[in-house]
Amino acid sequence: MPDAVTAALIVIGDEILSGRTKDVNIGTIADFCTDLGIELSEVRVVPDIEDEIVAAVNAVRGRYTYVFTTGGIGPTHDDITADAVAKAFGVALPINPEARAMLEQRWKDTGTEVNEARLRMARIPEGASLIVNSVSAAPGFRIGNVHVKAGVPKIMQAMLEAIAPTLEGGAKVKSVSIGCRVGEGTIGSAFGRIQDEFPDVKMGSYPRMGSTTVMTELVLRSHDEDRLSLAVERVRAMVAAAHANAGLAETVVAY
């Protein structure tokens, strides 16, 4: 197995923890990482409390290839992500001329007043590079391996697209799903034995509640296509036997 490229995500915001806002960024970033061959290894949701954000950033940034954060980079007093990240890296947080220019261009175009609150969004930790925001101008930034992005999903997605070319992905994980028409308890032991034989293929079992056609979805994932194919054949045969044993057609669908 090649060296894994890994990532952690820190979702910042009281509104996620109170339930007021339902997060969708975790799923988007998980898909984004998987597409690039980056293994998303951990997610933390933390409140708008500076010490908590600092602690989370410092807990993960030495551990994973990349760290992504979402939320807390707007113009109001509860937007403290830049402050916290600057503190985590022990650097100052001055107004960044390039960020200010991006914002002022936008404000000029839209006839928006420049004020102290809006200028908060131009404060960027010393040594960071900017992440372009094609939606609403206020940039994110990257410092070390930490990528700071907005929380609004549309802006967050635009920033993901902006950073994609700068990230080095790992070997892509190939994945095959196998639909199984019996419950996972029926094939659990046999499936576990196949997993034991293929430690290089990660195998997961997911019940599908309320479905009468596929009751269990078996997902096999590996960096090694040949080993994956071998394992898929073994699991297909196991499922076919379970189907036959339950008086169902032996047909097994892999997708």
Strand-pair partners of 205: 218
Q: Which is nearer to a copy of itself, 24 or 164 (CB)?
A: 24
Considering only residues 60-119, where is the footprint of a copy of itself by CB under 8 A?
A: 74-79, 112-113, 115-118
Q: Is 180 near a copy of itself (CB under 8 A)?
A: no
Q: Which is nearer to a copy of itself, 126 or 225 (CB)?
A: 225
Q: Which is nearer to a copy of itself, 44 or 227 (CB)?
A: 44
Q: Is 37 near a copy of itself (CB under 8 A)?
A: no
Q: Is 244 near a copy of itself (CB under 8 A)?
A: no
Q: Is 33 near a copy of itself (CB under 8 A)?
A: yes
The one among 4, 37, 44, 237 contacting a copy of itself by CB under 8 A: 44
The one among 152, 201, 220, 239 contacting a copy of itself by CB under 8 A: 152
The one among 26, 132, 214, 241 contacting a copy of itself by CB under 8 A: 26
Q: Which stretch binds a copy of itself (CB under 8 A): 42-50, 93-101, 160-168, 235-243?
A: 42-50
For a copy of itself, how many residues bind (rule: CB under 8 A)? 71
Considering only residues 181-220, where is the footprint of a copy of itself by CB under 8 A?
A: 183-189, 191-192, 195-196, 202-207, 209, 219
